[in-house]
Structure 1
Amino acid sequence: MMPTVRPSFGLIGRVVAILLFATLVEFGMSTVLYERASQFSVRDDEGRRLAEHLVIARRLMAEHPVAERSAMARSVSTAHYAMAWRTEAPPPSDPALSEMRAKVLAWEPVLQSAPLRMRLEPALAGSFVAGAAALPDGSWLYFRTAEAIDSLDQSRNRILIALGIAGVVMALGGGLIGRTLRPMRLLASAADRFGTAQAAPLAEEGPAEVRRVIVAFNRMQARIQQLIADRTQALAAVGHDIRTPLARLRLRAESVQTDAVRDEILDDVAEMDAMVGSLLAFLGGEDDPEKPVLADLAVLCATLADDAADHGRAVTYIGPDHLDHVFRQLGLKRALSNLVENGLHHGDHVTISLATDSGTVTACVEDDGPGIPDSQLQSVLEPFVRLDTARRRDTQGLGLGLAIVLRAVELEKGGLLLSNRPQGGLRAEIRLPRAL
């Protein structure tokens, strides 16, 4: 079975995430500190100016009679402060301005003898600093700043806007990083195609380090492809050289007069020829010249069963009369033939069944032999593995039959599952994805 590749957080995503996190943290902390420092600076300046103005205005108000104080309050109002005289006491001080109030009293100690109350009055543009200072006769000099100071919400909004801008800039930077690392993605795709007919040299682009990796990959790919081509050519030559004397041996065996000896010789020659064929099929490299085509898989399975029955072998087919599917006909036929031959070698009867659902085509080959120990169901799929003690008859061949089946199924992007039947025998199940 082909390993499942699980999606993960890619290199580009990690680099961008790290840079984004570091930048946002640094920028956010700087913005927060700047906002706090700015607010403290504004409030310090505002508090000092307010303290000076209150001392002067309070003294003038105390020196004038009650009837003139309202007019005097208007006259001491400035572009920065609106003043008013009232007899009723103001609300208690706002705890949010306790620090500013303490600084006002510290800068002008004379105000400590008169109660001073300060509060924030919310407005659309922020908050106004308002309050009142008591006069010696118990009346109050009210005041309010003409300009609003920033509220917590406004500071938070500015911080969020600044962070949003930083995030957009980092996203653009991430796009540039992704473009820079694009050759790495192409390299991963080329490595995944390596060993197939679609493999091709990769364009040498990107940063210097990435280009060096691509150059090394292209050289490695060329060397391996040459080795595979040389091996395939050598195997073809060896196969031809071996089968030539086998053919001559088969012809000479026909002249043997004793029927039993002639049949034994011909059986040995046929077995040797089958071993050579399986070895060449398995070692022929991963290059797959056969292309998938739309064909009738049900007819293929039924034909295999009919051919075996014509030779006096107990093989039956169960399934639909027709089932169109896109597959490699020669490869899948070899796989099913190997499973049928394997079942007949270890059992007396083989059943080929075919079924389909919305997304999968399932072809099963079942026999009535002794089966395989559960602990060895996976190991028999490995090349050159023969479980002589697993079946009741002597095992022939090189142990490549199931390995060839697995390779053919993997080329179809499918899966092969072996299991023991409850009533006895082996069940080989081929699951193929159905194109929708």
Structure 2
Amino acid sequence: MKSQLEPIYEDVLRRNPAEPEFHQAALEVFESLGPVLERHPEYAEAAVLARLCEPERQIIFRVPWVDDEGRVQINRAFRVEFNSALGPFKGGLRFHPSVNLGIVKFLGFEQVFKNSLTGLPIGGGKGGSDFDPRDRSDGEVMRFCQSFMTELYRHIGEYTDVPAGDIGVGGREIGYLFGQYKRITNRYESGVLTGKGVGWGGSLVRTEATGFGTVLFADEMLKTRGASMDGQRVVVSGSGNVATYAIQKAHQLGATVVACSDSSGYVVDESGIDVELLRQVKEVERLRIQVYAERRGGGATYVDGGPVWEVGATVALPCATQNELEPRDVKSLLDAGLVAVAEGANMPTTPEAVRMLQAADVLFGPGKAANAGGVATSALEMQQNASRDAWSEEFTEARLTDIMIGIHERCAATADQYGLPGDYVAGANIAGFVPVADAVLALGVV
């Protein structure tokens, strides 16, 4: 880190104690921006980076609801509206027991740069709750979502803040949230939430977009070395929305995904993961990954516990959660011939593991670039809502593909421009930072 950035980072640590994920996300960006501030001293003079590290607004509220046994439950919820220099705050809602203010801030900070990289007019924010929808009935999830939105509705709007889904928040939860928003406001504002059902304001390809985009980004990286996804042996962590559609797109591009996981363990299927069976088990029936192996028969095996990275691959797609890919995992993957990693989740690779991958000359696509397809298609959903239009699947996927190719080109070109060829981490951080910084300067001290 450049010496001029150290006092700013120290101030981030002082003002945000006990938030290690946020500290980690900020440090990664700070380590990339020294060359930018040398070329653009006006950013330092106007304290742009310090301003970007302080959210415009942080909202914390309680969510009381009643479970199926009639007992009152209390959860804590958050919405961090980080930066709106480029457009309304945009970012998902996460429902998971691990959610706290520091995690939401790290996600919101990452979202600012990710959204900037898409080239679309959206700012960055994030939210969620420590509510766990797993093993809860539909009625319990509905009552929680209704209580959650009863507070959140006053803070959001299509020109203010547009939430979407994330871990634990899929089509069911978005439906309940939108229904309560509509009931409270007496307005059908389709653009206030994205990830909606296709029949009531949603966009085709939005469900698949994050996973599809991650694989498209990996394919673009591989092309820089005369290769492609075709013929690659792939391992994916996770088995939720992002992982499922990453597997589907990888297969479409000619790769074979041989393993995926959940929090209980992982399955190995050398003939290639059956996407429809995986979706039935995980998305429709909401069962553990072990059931996939049981139904698949002799073609698949289940391994209880342990990281999925034990399975060798040439391409790794971490699509589960933050800090899941560690140095020991990288060593296993390198021994098996790893050539590329693209992050489908947000910050799933630890800093030490990133350094190991870069030292080994492995192509590494950071999440703020590689998984930006989800928020990009959310912005396309907002466009359709604003124009009262609905695009075809082919047109929407073509737009997604163009956006992901554009993100890759911006990251690669920016890295080259600053004398860091092939460094997608620096390329993404700088290419995401500069448009936001320019907008912050243009808008004045606000």
TM over 0.5: no
TM-score by length of 2: 0.20
Q: Which has the larger radius of gyration?
A: 1
Which structure has the higher relative contact order (CA within 8 Å, separation 6+)?
2
